[in-house]
Structure 1
Amino acid sequence: MDITEFHERSDQLFQDIEQQLDEYAEQYDTDIDYESHGNVIAITFENQSKIIINTQEPLLQIWMATRRQGYHFDFKDGDWLCSRSGVPFRQLFDESIKDQISH
């Protein structure tokens, strides 16, 4: 993947995340605030816990930091996959949202 494709794919992921956050807030009946600045999305929950998602352009990766751990994602086979486990971003993001809300 070249840098142009990386930007296109990461921009699309960030747009998808922002749309999903409203759905999560409604689904879990909670407030979820977020700020997006360039290559970083900071998500804050009612309990003041956070998830930070950002691009790592030199590595062509997406990084996500949660209350439990950090993840690095590479774009492979048409999806952002965790570099350690191979689990898709959306699955780990969904699990992290549930975890953050429940604490």
Structure 2
Amino acid sequence: MEIKVFHQLADTLFDEIERDIDTFAEQFDTDIDFESHGNVITITFENNNKIIINTQEPLLQIWMATPQQGYHFENKEGNWICNRSGIPFKQLFSQSVINQIKD
């Protein structure tokens, strides 16, 4: 994959994450702080736990760190997939956000 394509796919994912956070905040009537600086997104919850998502350009990966675990995702046919479990990013991300909201 070319770096330019990687950045386009990562930018699309980061835009989706921002929209998803707004949806979760409304759905669960909670405050979720979203900060984006370059290639890093920091999501802070009311319990002060964080989820950090960033690009790893040399590896062409997206990394997500949650209080419980870290994940590495590779883009396969337009989908970001965890390289350990094979689970899509959206599924692991949603599960991680809900865990923090309910914690």
Q: TM-score range by the shorter chain?
A: over 0.9
Question: Corresponding residue for 1:52?
Answer: 52
Sequence identity percentage: 65
Q: Which runs of 5+ in 2 are unaligned?
A: none
CA drift of 1:102 comes to: 1.3
Structure 1 stretches of at least 4 aligned residues deviating more than 4 Å after TM superposition: none
Whole-angstrom CA distance in 1 between matches of 2:2 and 2:73: 16
Secondary structure of residue in 2 paired with 1:7: helix
Question: Corresponding residue for 1:101?
Answer: 101
> TM-score, length-normalised on structure 1?
0.98
Query: Which amino acid in structure 2 is aligned with residue 82 of structure 1?
Result: C
Alignment of 1:42-81 (within 5 A): 42-81=42-81
Whole-angstrom CA distance in 1 between matches of 2:25 and 2:17: 12
User: CA offsets per residue over residues 41-80 of structure 1, 9 Å max, x none?
Assistant: 0000001000000000000000000010000000002200
Alignment of 1:81-96 (within 5 A): 81-96=81-96
Secondary structure of residue in 1 paired with 2:48: coil
* Alignment: residue pair count: 103
> TM-score, length-normalised on structure 2?
0.98
Question: Corresponding residue for 2:32?
Answer: 32
Q: Which runs of 5+ in 1 are unaligned?
A: none
Secondary structure of residue in 2 paired with 1:67: coil
Q: What's the RMSD between the two structures over aligned residues?
A: 0.6
